[in-house]
């Protein structure tokens, strides 16, 4: 339940910052300060690996709201879904340890936006996740990136994706939802 409260607090904080300071550029790094709570801890007494994704969602909400993407999505009936994500762990977050979720739009291809999320303690990266998210229309279909940036009234100034990200997205892809995807084990 604590992630619900953290989500509501993050959304309220991001909306307040947007109202007071205006939208931030899509190339900005968003930061959400958190602390590892008892409900985040697993049997090994460090942050549960599954909790990172939930807490990185807070960084995603913060960034979407503060860049203005959130309002553009809601006005137009768009929504975002995570298509791929991969996380790498470097150090453990311990009980009550303060950390910052840093989030940044990393780039995009013709169908998806890529984001990087990090758990950072005193400037040091403890974990990093790359996320490939697609913007979809409630009525069906993918929102083209030109339309997304047009809705933000901003230029598409995200840097080109590194080749490793393109290879990762291609290598991690599952068949289309319109294709068969039987669960067969070799």
| Residue-wise pLDDT tens digits, 134-162 | 999 999 999 998 898 888 777 777 888 99
Strand spans (E) along 25-164? 29-35, 78-89, 98-108, 112-121, 124-137
Domains of the chain: 3-172 (3.10.129.10)
Tell me the pLDDT tens digit for each residue of 81-107: 999 999 999 999 999 999 999 999 999
Give me the sign of the Cα torsion angle 176, 177, 182, 186.
positive
| C-alpha gyration radius of the chain | 17
Tell me how far apart the alpha carbons of residues 139 and 61 are, in angstroms, rounded to a whole number: 23
Q: Convert the pLDDT of each residue in 65-84 to its tens digit.
A: 999 989 999 999 999 999 99
Residue 135 backbone phi and psi in degrees, to 5:
-100, 120
């Amino acid at each position: 339940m604590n992630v619900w409260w953290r989500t509501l607090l993050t959304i309220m904080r991001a909306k307040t910052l947007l109202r007071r300071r205006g939208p931030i550029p899509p190339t900005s790094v968003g930061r959400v300060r958190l602390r590892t709570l008892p409900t985040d801890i697993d049997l090994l007494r460090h942050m549960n690996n599954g909790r990172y994704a939930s807490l990185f969602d807070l960084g995603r909400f913060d960034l979407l709201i503060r860049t203005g993407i959130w309002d553009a999505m809601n006005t137009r009936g768009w929504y975002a879904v995570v298509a791929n994500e991969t996380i790498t762990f470097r150090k453990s977050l311990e009980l009550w340890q303060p950390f910052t979720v840093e989030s940044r739009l990393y780039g995009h291809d013709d169908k998806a936006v890529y984001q990087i999320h990090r758990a950072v303690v005193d400037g040091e990266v403890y974990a990093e996740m790359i996320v490939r998210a697609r913007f979809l229309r409630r009525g069906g279909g993918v929102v083209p990136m030109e339309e997304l940036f047009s809705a933000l009234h901003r230029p598409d100034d995200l840097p080109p994706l590194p080749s490793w990200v393109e290879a990762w997205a291609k290598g991690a892809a599952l068949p289309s939802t319109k294709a068969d995807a039987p669960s067969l084990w070799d």
